[in-house]
Amino acid sequence: MPDDEGIVASSIQAAAVSALEAVEDLRAQMLTSFDEWRGWRLEIVDGSGRAIHVIPLDVQSAH
């Protein structure tokens, strides 16, 4: 599911932190198990749409 709005981040690390926070918020709202996220991933892309970092969503984050 593409995010047409996205965010602008100062670094890949800042983008990853923001992405993980958004995913945790979504998981809390949906009240689903991690198994239901199997195979899903979040891709952080640059301005041209090229994936520069991938975060698997079927594992618990460290937060």
Mean pLDDT of 22-33: 75
The whole-number pLDDT of residue 33 equals: 65
The pair phi, psi for residue 21, each rounded to 5°, is -65, -40
pTM for the model: 0.65
Residue 50 domain boundaries = 12-55
State the Cα–Cα distance between residues 39 and 22, nearest whole angstrom: 18
State the Cα–Cα distance between residues 15 and 28, nearest whole angstrom: 20
User: What's the number of domains the chain is made of?
Assistant: 1
Q: Is position 61 within any domain? A: no
Q: Which residue type occupies 59?
A: V
4-21 pLDDT, tens digit per residue, is 788 888 998 998 899 888
The DSSP output letter for 39 is: T
Q: Is position 30 within any domain? A: yes
41-60 pLDDT, tens digit per residue, is 888 888 888 999 888 887 65
- Indicate the pLDDT class of residue 61, thresholds 50, 70 and 90: very low
The whole-number pLDDT of residue 56 equals: 84
